[in-house]
Structure 1
Amino acid sequence: MNKTLIGLLFLTFAAVVQAAEAPATSARNIVLVRHGNYVSDPAADPKLGPGLSPLGVAQAYLAGARLAAMPAHFDALYASPLQRARDTAAIIGENFPGRTFSVLADLEECTPPTRRTEITKDDKPEELAACKKQLDRLFDTHFIPAQGAERTEMYVCHGNVIRYLTTRALGVDTRAWLEMSVHHASITRIRVEADGRFKVINVGDSGYMPANMLTGATGDEKRSLEIPELPVAQPESD
């Protein structure tokens, strides 16, 4: 047996052994949760932004109950560094005692390029490009098949982030992200199959919230959980 044939046999054997040792790929289930309602606050940390409003707190509790009722075990929990997302994650986390969230910088809210240029006319092109790069990096890192057993992961983040990632999963023009609208504290689910194919299960599910608590999507009324003034009947005069 000549040296060339021996070398080929050795390489073939090594490739077979390596393939046998490599873990099989499985599906990865991505659960994206938008933060709850918030209001502008001039006193808020300029880097972290404002926290949740009372209505946002209530929305987050409802989302947490819905997530806890899901049959799947969450293998990883992630949150955006912004305060409204951290608050939402903290409330959701009460349904998962003993678990911790990892804060991902790439989950931070930003504005990627869109076909609706009238919306982004005041944004700098370099900022739009940086946002796209950030979200593409997030997608390419996390929206991949799982190694070994199937996984389910939760990401508490923002409307722009969720909509952009959904366009990536759908394989459509990512500049179309603004053609979707999702409620505060809504849930979007995307499945990455073992072979890398994507299945968008649902976008912006908020059916677990009463209609009078829905905010954040196009057409929603501005709502509040502040106590209104009691309408008191005036005594009749003689």
Structure 2
Amino acid sequence: MNRLLLTLGCGFVSFALTSPANAAEPQAPGMRTIVLVRHGNYEADPAFEEKVGPPLSPIGVAQARLAGAAVRGLPLHFDHLYVSPMQRARNTAAVIAGDFPGRDFEVIDDLAECTPPTRRSEVTKGEKPAELAACKQKLDRVFARLFKPATAGDRADMLVCHGNVIRYLVTRALGVDTSAWLEMSVGHASITTIRIEADGRFKVIAAGDVGHIPPNMRTGTTGDPERSLAIPPLPEAGSNH
């Protein structure tokens, strides 16, 4: 509350409004850091409802644990944790949550996997134009909601979501043609970091970083072989192999 001070002198009375010494000064806009984690490996299974999708595979769980340790080690305090509604993303967030005890992930439906328009028409020839447009629209909503400077001091948010979602949002941050998103490839449990400066400028710090995952456990990028945590069979006794 402001205080009214009276000053007497030379026959005049002057008035001045002063603020208490401990009044909180409004904070200036700050930098926002957004860390996007792709879900771990999963095995496609048409038996699962498309909107939910299958859970993580064993190697996907291991990848998620490595991602959790990596983001926990970042010099950031995450103000918000968000996750896609799909099962593989929720499984990944559940594993990562072990490194953030007492914290909950907020589900954002617009983070669900989808396919936005791309100039690689041979890839999307089976998609309906209306569905491509709807995907772009919902990802643009995510960008408008989250990818902006912090309103008071520096902030950081984590999003656990999907490859198409992450690649599209990177193109938005770069300010390039969003139909080029398919020219990137981000691995399972990879970490992408985007910074929004206080003045609104974007900086892509890392895209699809998998340095926290051993090479023989990396999956999800173009050219990666299939991998498994299953124990391979031993050669029979007496075999020369």
Using the size of structure 1 for normalisation, the TM-score is 0.88
Of 185, 188, 193, 1:189 maps to 193
Question: How many percent of aligned residue pairs carry the same amino acid?
Answer: 66
Who is 1:169 aligned against?
A: 173
Q: Partners in 1 of 2:239 and 2:42 — Cα distance?
A: 40
Question: Do structure 1's residue 74 and structure 2's residue 73 form an aligned pair?
Answer: no
Q: Partners in 1 of 2:136 and 2:84 — Cα distance?
A: 16
Q: Partners in 1 of 2:239 and 2:133 — Cα distance?
A: 64
Give the deviation of 1:85 after TM superposition: 0.1
Cα displacement string for residues 31-51 of structure 1 (whole angstroms, at most 9, x for unaligned residues): 000000000223323421100
Of 97, 104, 115, 1:100 maps to 104
Give the deviation of 1:24 after TM superposition: 1.9
Who is 2:214 aligned against?
A: 210
CA RMSD of aligned residues (A): 1.5
**Could you tell me which amino acid in structure 2 is paired with residue 113 of structure 1?**
P
Of 114, 118, 123, 1:119 maps to 123
Give the deviation of 1:22 after TM superposition: 6.2
Give the structure with the higher percent helix.
1
Cα displacement string for residues 97-128 of structure 1 (whole angstroms, at most 9, x for unaligned residues): 00000000110000000010000000000000
What SS is found at the alignment partner of 2:153? coil
Using the size of structure 2 for normalisation, the TM-score is 0.87
The runs of 4+ residues in structure 1 deviating greater than 6 Å are: none
Which consecutive residues of structure 2, in runs of 5 or more, have no partner in the other structure? 1-24
Who is 1:33 aligned against?
A: 37
Q: Partners in 2 of 1:47 and 1:219 — Cα distance?
A: 27
Question: Do structure 1's residue 85 and structure 2's residue 89 form an aligned pair?
Answer: yes
Who is 1:12 aligned against?
A: none
Cα displacement string for residues 52-100 of structure 1 (whole angstroms, at most 9, x for unaligned residues): 0001000000000111111111111000000000000000000000000
Give the deviation of 1:232 after TM superposition: 2.8
Larger radius of gyration: 2
Closer/same/farther in 2, CA of residues 67 and 229 from structure 1, 3 Å limit: same
Who is 2:238 aligned against?
A: 234
Of 144, 147, 153, 2:148 maps to 144
Q: Partners in 2 of 1:168 and 1:22 — Cα distance?
A: 30
Who is 1:17 aligned against?
A: none
Which consecutive residues of structure 1, in runs of 5 or more, have no partner in the other structure? 1-20
